[in-house]
Amino acid sequence: MSVAIVTTGLANVASVRAALRRLGVEPRLTDDPREVREARAVVLPGVGALGPAMRRLTERSTSGDTLAAALSARIADERPTLAICLGLQLLCASSDEAPGISGLCTFSAHVARLDAAPQLPHFGWNEVAPDAEMTFVPAGAAYFAHSYAALAAPAPNSKGAKGAKGAKGAKDAATAVAWTSHGARFVSAFERGAVLACQFHPELSGDYGAELLERWLARSLPDRPRTLTEAATC
């Protein structure tokens, strides 16, 4: 299996699935931790509320594994993983949206409500400005739909990846960050290795988003066929 979309039963995956199909990838939908560990690339889409989503990720499967552990292991190893919107927030340590509920803690950031913003939710197109040259995220306008965001640059959290193979070396890798402003400056994307987290929705960001997804897929599946038709004839 090449690309897996993690379904929590709460998130709408039709848009991200359609976007991947347009780029020649037929993703598989799964809530099986084993498949999340084994897939070459994984998308953690994010729509919905943080509390219920986190509960679903920490539920044990029949094998005793959890989606949370499978995702944390991938991220610690910097394997191709794309977290979108709430997906980005789930990688963080905590959120104002669900006080007392711990996130996956793979990154040390806290997620706060964008209370200084004139309008909430933050709906629409806004500028994404990378700190420095990023592998996947260019400067441009992307589509956002959220009320919460990380306000400080996230750092890999070795504690959160406890027990996961490869966690030790994680701190050596740089985490590149892109910023956006809505009332306050917040983290609109960050990347480390083949791990990419976007507060915006690349699948809804027109050509900008398609180009970003293409870059991430090119890195994650360098040998993939370019189109679905090509895949079908192979």
Partner 1 sequence: MLMQRIIPCLDVDRGRVVKGVRFQGLRDAGDPVERARRYQAEGADELCLLDVSATHEGRASALDTVARVREVLGIPLTVGGGVRTLSDARALLEHGADKVAVNSAALARPDLLREIADTLGAQCCVIAVDAARRLAAPPGTPPPALACAPVEDTFEVITHGGRARSGVCAVEWAARATALGAGEVLLTSFDRDGTGAGYDLALLRAVRAATRAPIIASGGAGGRAEAARHGVEAFAAGADALLAATLFHDGHMTPLTLKSELARAGYAMRLGAPRTPSLAPEPTP
Q: Catalytic residue numbers?
A: 85, 201, 203
The contacts of residue 185 (CB under 8 Å, 6+ apart) are 151, 179
**Site residues (CB under 8 A) for partner 1, limited to 113-132:** 118-127
Q: Which of 93, 94, 87 is nearest to 195 (CA)?
A: 87
Interaction pattern, residues 22-61, with partner 1; x per rule: CB under 8 A: x------------------------xxx------------
| Cβ atoms 122, 145 nearer than 8 A | yes
Which is nearer to partner 1, 127 or 131 (by Cβ)?
Answer: 127
Positive or negative, the CA dihedral 44, 91, 72, 142 is positive
Asked if 3 and 203 count as a contact pair (C-beta separation under 8 A), the reply is no
Q: By rule CB under 8 A, what string of x and - marks binding of each residue 210-229 to partner 1?
A: xx------------------
Reported as half-sphere exposure (CB side, CA atoms, 13 A), residue 216 has a value of 36
Q: How far is the CB of 155 from partner 1 (least distance, A)?
A: 27
**Amino acid type, 188:** S
Q: State the chain's maximal CA–CA distance in angstroms.
A: 53
> Among residues 56, 74, 79, 146, which is the contact residue for partner 1, using CB under 8 A?
146
Q: Which of residues 160-189 bind partner 1 (CB under 8 A)?
A: 181-182
> What are the residues facing 179 on neighbouring strands?
129, 187
- Of 51 and 169, which has the nearer Cβ to partner 1? 51
Interface with partner 1 (CB under 8 A), residue from 27, 80, 87, 140:
140
Nearest CA-CA partner of 44 in 1, 95, 10: 10
In the bound state with partner 1, the residue whose beta carbon lies nearer, of 115 and 230, is 115
Query: Taking contact as CB under 8 A, which single stretch among the options 7-15, 54-62, 101-109, 192-200 is the one that binds partner 1?
Result: 7-15
141 binds partner 1 (CB under 8 A): yes
Tell me the β-bridge partners of 184: 182
List contacts with partner 1 (CB under 8 A).
Answer: 10, 12, 14-15, 18-19, 21-22, 47-49, 86, 118-127, 138-141, 143, 145-147, 181-182, 201, 203-211
